[in-house]
Amino acid sequence: MKKTLYLLLTLATAVGLLFTIAVCTSAEAAAAAVSVEITTADGVTYLGQQPVKNGEDEITGYTETGAKDSMAAGSGTLAFDSETGTLTMNNATGIQKIYTEAGSLTIVVNGTNEVANAANANYAIFVNCADASLTLKGTGTLTASSQQYTICNQLGDLIFEGSVKVNLSSTKGMDLIHVAAGASGSDLIFKDNCEVNATAKGNAIQHKSEDGVTRITGNAKVTVTGDDVPGWAIGLLAYNFEMDGGTLTVNTKTSAKEIVGLQIEGIQTKQGSGKITGGTINISVESTGTDTSRAYAIFGKNFSQILVGGNAKLNLSVKNVGAPNATHSSGVFGFQASKDPKSGHTLKLTGNAEIKVTADKATNGIVESRGAKDSALFIMDGGKLTGTANYVFCPSASEGQTIEITGGTIDVSAETALVNNTKTPTLKLGQEMKVTEGSLTADAKVLKASGASQDSGKDDNSGTSDSLLFAVSSLAVLSVAAAAVVIVKKKTHN
């Protein structure tokens, strides 16, 4: 019990929020909730067992005395089964908040339902109990709104399943879905045929669990929309992200700070991990500011490793206003390293995966790096990378990085060239690599693809239409094997 209370207090302090301390212990938390608190304009009603309080507010336990299993909710009803911890919503309206600290809660959604925190406070649905899960399922629709943390499980799993449809919004626009780390890690799962729509003015979905995973699977649909976000914003943030089915769509823009569609983030000494092996990701992000704002479709922070493989399909669009520079760096895939590397940060493209990108000239490149010395930047042994961009690879502030292409196809229209940076790398080209001509920049070198590999220091301008033009970078090695097909075309303008 002491460990549970200490964890709750620590987490509350860390995020600057004041939580009611949960009365359940870790051993009790796996069990179903025996009571749920329903707030309406008329006050608070407890369904299931009734709370025993020490003084006015602190709950010390629950009793069967006066137990209540249902209540009217607008033109609908709420029904609660305290043995299974299941709250059933049938066209329920007029609800401001659903809360429990008594165990795991399952909400079954039937018909059309609404939870709106009219008091402009945090939380529409909140479970606050160590290792307790929150599951939303059913065949109906739930519309939920609050100031922020609209649906929150502070210490356990959050699961959307079945055919439930959930529409989320918040007046402050922050963390419409918020999941933190439980005592044994916590998962955020979207599965089956569920549909979750979040309209945000800040971070929409945050899952901060070092040992947990955010997973999209089955035919689940997750959509984040944000128009003219006033500050920093991330569509979905996870320490560990997995997707083998379903659809993730992020469409948002900002005129102020930084906007990211999907962020994979490492923490402390542990790398972030992204494994996208199926399903479809559609991301469109736009930065309309002209100074320090920037946009990334997918961002790896603190030495994160991201794999795109299987039959995954990624459609990524990035727009930035203003010329790219050290303080205005941006990319379709971005990487930032602020901790000592273990095995570096990597984007790997493999299998039959397809990545289609559209990026304007103000976006540095398809793969852009702001940090990590002596680490892998891009590995490709399969899949297909197509689209338009300024550069394909733009390690704008890195040294000693490696690009390795041993298979698959890169077919892009480059505004400038394949690789950009300021220092001279060792470039190794496979003898059978198929290429077409890129565009020439002031410091570019022409490297013949049909002959033996050439050192980048040689200014050999004898190549014709089968030569590839590079803006020489600070990469340590660029190696392209014979199995790969790399086509870099001059981007045309109408």
pLDDT tens digits, 304-314: 889 999 999 99
- Quick: pLDDT tens for 132-181: 999 999 999 999 999 889 999 988 999 999 999 999 988 776 789 999 87
The predicted pLDDT at position 13 comes to: 32
Residue 320 is predicted with a pLDDT of: 81
Q: Is 325 inside a domain boundary?
A: yes
How confident is the model over 381-389, as a mean pLDDT?
Answer: 86
> The pTM is what?
0.84
Query: Is 263 inside any structural domain?
Result: yes
Least confident of 167-171, 215-219, 379-383, 465-469: 465-469
Contact 196, 226 (CB under 8 A): no
185 band by pLDDT with thresholds 50, 70 and 90? confident
Residue 260 forms part of a structural domain? yes
Calculate the average pLDDT of the chain.
Answer: 75
Q: What are phi and psi of 29, to 5 degrees?
A: -65, -30
- Confidence band (pLDDT; 50, 70, 90) for 40? very high
Which residues in 139-173 are b (16+ Cβ under 10 Å) and which e?
ebbbbbbbbbbbbbbbbbbbbbbbebbbbbbbebb
Q: How many domains, the chain?
A: 1
pLDDT of residue 194 exceeding 50, the answer is yes
Q: Does a structural domain hold residue 228?
A: yes
Which tops the pLDDT comparison, 147 or 91? Answer: 91
User: Is residue 54 assigned to a domain?
Assistant: no
Q: Any idea which residue has 């290792």 for tokens? A: 131
| 73 within a domain of the structure (yes/no) | yes
Q: Is 5 helix (H, G, I), strand (E, B) or coil?
A: helix
Tell me how far apart the alpha carbons of residues 372 and 399 are, in angstroms, rounded to a whole number: 7
Task: Please tell me the distance from the alpha carbon of residue 381 to that of residue 370, in angstroms, as a whole number.
Answer: 24
Confidence band for 462, pLDDT divided at 50, 70 and 90: very low
For range 227-250, the mean pLDDT: 87
Question: Residue 461 sits in which domain range?
Answer: 26-37+67-490
Q: What is the rounded average pLDDT of the residues 431-446?
A: 34
Q: Cα 17 to chain center, whole Å? A: 23
pLDDT at 254: 77
